[in-house]
Amino acid sequence: MPRFRALAVTTVLSGVLAAALIAPPANAAQDYQRYVALGDSFASVGTLTKFREDAPGCARATDNYPSVIAAKLAPTEFVDISCGGAQTREMTAPQGQNPPQFSALTADTDLVTVSIGGNDIGFGEIITTCAKLSFTNPLGAPCKAHYAGVLEERIAQLAPKITAVVDGIAQRSPNATIVVVGYLRILPPTTGCWPVVPFAVGDVPYFDGIERVLNETIGASAEAAGAVFVNPGLTTGHDVCQLLPWNKWVEGLLPTSLSVPVHPNAAGQRHVGGLVAAALSD
């Protein structure tokens, strides 16, 4: 082969190799500059010893799922304004001493995650009521009889609120990728573990069904408004009734780790964070 042709081939091959080394893989995650995390306690909590002191009453931990996402994606700026007890109204209104969550949104925010809606339908009240009623009829479905369609109506009323949340984010951060995150599965689909987790036999599938409808409603509203929806509730085998503590992603009323009762523990938050990061890489 003539010398000039050999040099030409070598040059082309070198260029191809360099391009292959420099170019990111086709499914690589986008580089995000400013990530803002919004939401309620299913976004904010983590290990009890890792709660931050800069958000009174918010139970905002440094190992919650927004922190997991930030560690994986390494945005230039990360703002976590999630707060335990938040409802959709706290997106635009103060929550105690804490400012409206939308106050963290800016025009240059390019990634937003939000978990919201559970408190709008009264998650805490539902769990407390079902637990108390379980002792009146542990083999029946006293909680289902008590609510008798009320929770389905609450969820239906939540749908436009989720739409409004997504629209509000898009108005304030028009270039942002918006990810709405559902709720981890709390109870198993069928068989419970009364009295360790005090839900009557018939109320276990009832509550699990309510949570499924909640996630489906949130997801449908979010996607219709243009957001990405991630549903952690699809996974089974990591609920509050798991006998082995390391299998749990959600703690029971008596936690087996340094976590908030009936909330995601550190393992659960790692799972959710991984799901969101993977969705952003697709």
Residue 89 CB contacts under 8 Å (≥ 6 apart), including other chains: none
Is 271 among the residues known to form the active site? no
Is 41 among the residues known to form the active site? yes
Please give the C-alpha separations between residue 87 and each of 84, 115, 194, 229, 276, in angstroms, as whole numbers: 9, 10, 30, 18, 21
Per annotation, catalytic residue among 44, 115, 221, 263? 263
> Angle at which helices 150-172 and 203-224 pack, to 10 degrees?
30
User: What radius of gyration, in Å, describes the C-alpha atoms of the chain?
Assistant: 22
Q: What is the DSSP string of 101-124?
A: GGGG--TT--EEEEE--TTTTTHH
- Per-residue burial over 191-216, b if 16 or more Cβ lie within 10 Å, else e, is ebbbeebbbbbbbbbbbbebbbebbe
Per annotation, catalytic residue among 41, 134, 221, 259? 41
**Catalytic positions, please?**
41, 263
